[in-house]
Structure 1
């Protein structure tokens, strides 16, 4: 593996192209975010706000009807669609209208706050194996995939998986230590389960690893203050927005992880690490993107 896999950690991160002076919201992509459940409406809302702050032209959140009003209350700048639920989370009756929403989107992200149930496993399986559009998969969607090893190996299109170590252990059955080399090998091995080579793995943590079947990079931005609930949901939205703006899956994951960590560094510099919360990362995305632009 050492002879064939490239370490791109020192390579400059990808950049977005400067915006066309005649550009409009239709030029910057439609993101569909799927998630939320009773008690976890904030998760998918953080993803939505992050996608907006990361440049997506239009953002829609598909969420259970029971929490739609709560999700909508976090921002007036994204749209929400309420789907059938079991009074807590999405159920199988949500699938047909969800697939109609998928047709209108350029990128799909699924998982934050989704919850766990047999219906959720079924929804994730259908989206993962039937939708050819790029997809970011996080949180409870990863927990569903842990029950679907065949689906994990047969994505219909480009996929960016964003597990933290616990989710990684559920996906693979392997518990990773803190050694960078072990984390890198684990991320590469998970990416290689997909023989079609469409999967990017973002293994979160100190020194987040981005890997596919042939290359990997360790991220250098970020700080311990980002170890707070909702930080990963923000990353989901960032990566989805970059995909929507035309970067490929590797570029979106690599840049997304970098700018997410950079926003966290800006927030920690102003607020301190102890008091940093996920919405602070969203708030400092503009300064992170501006620094990259300069």
Structure 2
């Protein structure tokens, strides 16, 4: 059995070349959104932009397309077919795969919603997309009964559950998860060959061979949407060529540091998720 390596230094991206262009920093595609949850995919898009991706595409149901597009002019939007409830469905799959065709990294989950068709859609995307894919939020819940699909994926999958989502994935209680966070995270990553980001105070990042404990962040980040920003941020770092484990470590560090800077200026109770992308530039400067 390989010896587990503990990582203490935060990985960094290489300096940017003076003659680089937007294509040098990757294409990130984020799949998600539904009626009533257009904010989630938009926050992920903002996280990806502030994470440095050269091009960011948000693939979402056509009924929320204009709302998502109006939030930020810097990302591109891909309107997709939807079901009667304004959610993506199996007929959306060809459009998603087309959007992912030239991607360097993909994320799926923010604001996706829940349905039987979405369960089939998520399974198909997870086992089909041939670049690294970040799986978050609703996509994690949709994989609860199909977690074995992770082992058939053609590229690395990065899962970013909070303790409740991880409890559902493993069939354990939240109490058991919280009492055994590190060992359970490592075991899951080894078994399913994924990078696992188990969120919480002292977020754990592991690929089963290495483990990193994040030391940034604060209780002001305990508000809806902050996880969506992290999803976009990690996706952007992978799109720029970072190893998925390194991207997850750096992403968690920057995400928490942006939250710490925001808390200093705004107060923890006064923070909202959309503050984090605004403070990411300062987190980059401090990192």
TM-score (structure 2 length as normaliser): 0.96
**How big is the alpha-carbon RMSD for the aligned residues of Structure 1 and Structure 2?**
1.5
Match of 2:200 in 1: 205
Query: Which segment is superposed worse, 123-132 or 46-55?
Result: 123-132
Match of 2:113 in 1: 115
Q: What is the alpha-carbon distance in structure 2 between the residues aligned to residue 97 and residue 202 of structure 1?
A: 28
Match of 1:283 in 2: 278
For the residue of structure 2 that corresponds to 1:278, the secondary structure is: coil
Match of 1:193 in 2: 191
Q: What is the alpha-carbon distance in structure 2 between the residues aligned to residue 73 and residue 145 of structure 1?
A: 31
Match of 1:100 in 2: 98
Match of 1:184 in 2: 182
Q: What is the alpha-carbon distance in structure 2 between the residues aligned to residue 50 and residue 178 of structure 1?
A: 31
Q: Does 1:137 align with 2:135?
A: yes
Q: What is the alpha-carbon distance in structure 2 between the residues aligned to residue 69 and residue 85 of structure 1?
A: 14
Match of 2:232 in 1: 237
Deviation at 1:155, TM superposition (A): 2.1
Deviation at 1:6, TM superposition (A): 2.3
After the TM superposition, which residues 152-163 of structure 1 pair with which residues of structure 2 at under 5 Å, given as runs?
152-163=150-161
Match of 1:63 in 2: 60
Q: Does 1:54 align with 2:51?
A: yes
Match of 2:4 in 1: 5
Q: What is the alpha-carbon distance in structure 1 between the residues aligned to residue 71 and residue 271 of structure 2?
A: 19
Q: Which blocks of at least 5 consecutive residues in structure 1 are unaligned?
A: none
Match of 1:150 in 2: 148
Q: What is the alpha-carbon distance in structure 2 between the residues aligned to residue 163 and residue 83 of structure 1?
A: 26
Match of 1:89 in 2: 87
**Cα separation, partners in 2 of 1:118 and 1:178, compared to 1, 3 Å:** closer
Match of 1:246 in 2: 241
> C-alpha offsets along residues 4-62 of structure 1, whole Å, 9 cap, x if unaligned?
22222xx2101111111111100000000000000000000000011001100000000
Q: What is the alpha-carbon distance in structure 1 between the residues aligned to residue 180 and residue 129 of structure 2?
A: 32
Match of 2:254 in 1: 259
For the residue of structure 2 that corresponds to 1:31, the secondary structure is: strand
Match of 1:80 in 2: 77
TM-score (structure 1 length as normaliser): 0.94
Q: What is the alpha-carbon distance in structure 1 between the residues aligned to residue 278 and residue 9 of structure 2?
A: 25
Deviation at 1:213, TM superposition (A): 1.5
Match of 1:33 in 2: 30
For the residue of structure 2 that corresponds to 1:4, the secondary structure is: coil
Q: What is the alpha-carbon distance in structure 2 between the residues aligned to residue 79 and residue 234 of structure 1?
A: 17
Q: What is the alpha-carbon distance in structure 2 between the residues aligned to residue 285 and residue 131 of structure 1?
A: 29
> Is the contact between residue 109 and residue 138 of structure 2 (CA under 8 Å) also seen in structure 1?
yes
Deviation at 1:150, TM superposition (A): 2.1
Match of 2:268 in 1: 273
> Is the contact between residue 145 and residue 152 of structure 1 (CA under 8 Å) also seen in structure 2?
no
> C-alpha offsets along residues 180-217 of structure 1, whole Å, 9 cap, x if unaligned?
771101111211222xx3x1000001110001121211
Deviation at 1:97, TM superposition (A): 1.6
